[in-house]
């Protein structure tokens, strides 16, 4: 309410609320291609829309507040519904009930109409609007109760603050009712009233801060993910493989390690014969198949076009060889849905041992050399430094 001597001073609070909203909108813009980022837009609307109403009200006289009550009421109710919708989407639900939101809005706007046009009473209007907006926010309660437990303290912070925000909005009318003041003029000038208002704003800001912290964390995580993952297969890319292997190779408890280089045989023929889309599909199928054949801590990466590398921890050469044989056999057994029945995709492998991070480059070179030895020896086979595998002549591409 505009009780300030300087009306522009009263714009500080709406400006802060607007800033939070715009920052959330900025977070949405950065993450807009990520699935499920839409909740940020709803939460941004949950701040921007009420900020407009708060700014308008901050500059109005009591008479103007009455004539604009329905308009500002609509903005607050829509903003709080948007906040509940954003929270619901954030928790993985499909959203909150539009019908329930409209019902709460209709009842609240009806009361606002009555107490602004029929029997003018600013005091009752404020209380009705506070309860109406709290009820809008409460629409997400069911989703919150059913949601998975929060996985970190930031998530807990956001959920708890949202709950406190709604709880306080429901309690505030009762707290204000207990005031021993007569008339709205006296009330809105009292320190107690300003305190209840300031606490509401602080809780709202606290919640927004938690949301922003979560959003920044999510943006950083998705940027890291984008930087580290091959977009087609979602496996680690070459850069992430080198970074992750440096971390893994620093832990001597995981020694010894085996580096496996793998290259699909005659992949060009797959592209040439059935098109790039089928070639991509083969790469994606292999990206699902490979991690299933190794342990969780082992690394699997797409190193180049049709070349993959694996870093196996705590294995000796014979065990590594049986893991790779298992991969080779699983490829034989695998039916690629987009390839004609009976067409098999094979690959050639080179395995190089390594005992420390400093040997990574040399191991990559050795594994690559062994892989090309396997190609020369007829493909669809595994080569190790001891040449455990005898040469054999595999067909160009089984079934073609
Ligand atoms: N579909 C698809 N093809 C790719 C991708 N990256 C690389 N390729 C293709 O992979 C093929 C690799 O061909 P080559 O290097 O001749 O190897 P190859 O046909 O597998 O033959 P060998 O390795 O000797 O068995 C090329 O035709 C590339 O265009 C990709 O992301 N998707």
**Does pLDDT of 388 surpass 80?**
no
CA distance 328 to 351: 13
In this prediction, residue 170 carries a pLDDT of: 85
Residue of the CA atom closest to atom 21 of ligand 1? 266
What is the whole-number distance in angstroms between the Cα of residue 226 and the centre of ligand 1?
A: 23
Which atom of ligand 1 lies at the shortest distance from residue 280's CA? 1
Which atom of ligand 1 lies at the shortest distance from residue 271's CA? 1
In this prediction, residue 214 carries a pLDDT of: 87
**Does pLDDT of 137 surpass 50?**
yes
**Cβ–Cβ under 8 Å, residues 292 and 234:** no
Cβ of residue 159 lying under 6 Å from some atom of ligand 1: no
SS (H, E, C) 35-55: CCCHHHHHHHHHHHHHHHHHH
Residue-wise over 55-74: b if at least 16 C-beta within 10 A, else e? bbbbebeeeebbebbeebbb
Torsion, Cα 325 329 332 335, to 10 degrees, reads -130
Q: pLDDT tens, 293-314?
A: 999 999 999 999 999 999 999 9
**Cβ–Cβ under 8 Å, residues 381 and 374:** yes
CA distance 195 to 44: 26
Cβ of residue 232 lying under 6 Å from some atom of ligand 1: yes
- 306 classed as catalytic: yes
In this prediction, residue 166 carries a pLDDT of: 87
Cβ of residue 347 lying under 6 Å from some atom of ligand 1: no
In this prediction, residue 391 carries a pLDDT of: 42
> Across all residues in the chain, what is the average pLDDT?
88
Of 111, 17, 104, 106, give the one whose Cα is nearest residue 57: 17
Q: pLDDT tens, 3-44?
A: 444 667 778 888 988 998 998 898 888 878 877 889 999 999
**Cβ–Cβ under 8 Å, residues 257 and 298:** no
Probe target for ligand 1 pocket from 234, 264, 267, with the most ligand atoms within 8 Å of CB: 267
CA distance 196 to 202: 10
Cβ of residue 380 lying under 6 Å from some atom of ligand 1: no
Residue of the CA atom closest to atom 26 of ligand 1? 268
What is the whole-number distance in angstroms between the Cα of residue 392 and the centre of ligand 1?
A: 22
In this prediction, residue 113 carries a pLDDT of: 94
**Does pLDDT of 55 surpass 50?**
yes
Residue of the CA atom closest to atom 4 of ligand 1? 305
What is the whole-number distance in angstroms between the Cα of residue 323 and the centre of ligand 1?
A: 24
What is the whole-number distance in angstroms between the Cα of residue 283 and the centre of ligand 1?
A: 10
Q: How many other C-beta atoms lie within 10 A of the C-beta of residue 258?
A: 25
Grade residue 64 by pLDDT with cuts at 50, 70 and 90: confident
**Cβ–Cβ under 8 Å, residues 265 and 380:** yes
Of 206, 199, 197, 200, give the one whose Cα is nearest residue 160: 206
**Cβ–Cβ under 8 Å, residues 257 and 366:** no
CA distance 332 to 163: 55
Q: In what order do the strands lie in the sheet with 307-312?
A: 299-302, 307-312, 257-264, 347-354, 382-383
What is the whole-number distance in angstroms between the Cα of residue 266 and the centre of ligand 1?
A: 7
Which residue in 243, 306, 329, 389 is the catalytic one?
A: 306
* Distances 269 to 272, 275, 289, 343 between C-alpha atoms, Å: 5, 9, 21, 12
Cβ of residue 265 lying under 6 Å from some atom of ligand 1: yes
What is the whole-number distance in angstroms between the Cα of residue 72 and the centre of ligand 1?
A: 62
**Cβ–Cβ under 8 Å, residues 129 and 50:** no
Q: What DSSP string describes 213-277?
A: HHHHHHHHHHHHHHHHB-TTT-SB-HHHHHHHHHHHHT-GGG-SEEEEEEEETTHHHHHHHH-HH
Cβ of residue 376 lying under 6 Å from some atom of ligand 1: no
Residue of the CA atom closest to atom 16 of ligand 1? 268
ipTM value: 0.96
In this prediction, residue 301 carries a pLDDT of: 97
């Amino acid at each position: 309410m505009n009780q300030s001597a300087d009306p522009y001073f009263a714009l500080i609070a709406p400006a802060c609320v607007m800033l939070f909203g715009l920052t959330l909108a900025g977070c949405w813009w950065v993450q807009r291609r990520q699935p499920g980022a839409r909740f940020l837009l709803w939460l941004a609307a949950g701040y921007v829309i009420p900020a407009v109403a708060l700014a308008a009200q901050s500059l109005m006289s009591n008479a103007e507040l009455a004539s604009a009550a329905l308009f500002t009421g609509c903005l607050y109710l829509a903003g709080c519904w948007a906040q509940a919708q954003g929270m619901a989407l954030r928790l993985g639900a499909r959203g909150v009930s539009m019908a329930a939101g409209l019902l709460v809005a209709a009842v609240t706007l009806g009361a606002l109409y009555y107490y602004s046009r029929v029997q003018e009473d600013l005091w009752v209007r404020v209380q009705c609007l506070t309860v109406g907006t709290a009820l809008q926010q409460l629409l997400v309660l069911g989703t919150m109760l059913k949601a998975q437990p929060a996985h970190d303290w930031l998530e807990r912070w956001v959920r708890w603050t949202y709950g406190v925000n709604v709880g306080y909005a429901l309690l505030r009318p009762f707290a204000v009712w207990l005031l021993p003041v007569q008339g709205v003029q006296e009330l809105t000038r009292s320190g107690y009233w300003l305190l209840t208002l300031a606490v509401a704003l602080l809780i709202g800001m606290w919640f927004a801060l938690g949301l922003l912290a979560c959003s920044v964390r999510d943006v950083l995580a998705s940027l890291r993910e984008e930087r580290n993952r091959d977009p087609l297969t979602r496996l680690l890319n070459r850069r992430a493989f080198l970074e992750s292997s440096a971390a893994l190779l620093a832990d001597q408890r995981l020694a010894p390690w085996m580096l496996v280089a793998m290259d699909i045989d005659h992949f060009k023929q797959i592209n040439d014969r059935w098109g790039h889309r089928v070639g991509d599909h083969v790469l994606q199928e292999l990206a699902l198949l490979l991690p299933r054949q190794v342990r969780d801590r082992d690394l699997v990466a797409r190193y180049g076009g049709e070349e993959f590398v694996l870093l196996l921890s705590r294995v000796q050469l014979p065990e590594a060889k049986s893991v790779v044989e298992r991969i080779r056999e699983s490829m034989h057994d695998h039916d690629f849905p987009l390839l004609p029945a009976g067409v098999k995709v094979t690959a050639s492998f080179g395995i190089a041992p390594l005992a420390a991070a400093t040997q990574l480059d040399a191991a990559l070179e050795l594994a690559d050399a062994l892989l090309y030895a396997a190609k020369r020896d007829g493909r669809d086979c595994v080569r190790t430094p001891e040449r455990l595998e005898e040469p054999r002549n595999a067909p160009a591409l089984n079934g073609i």
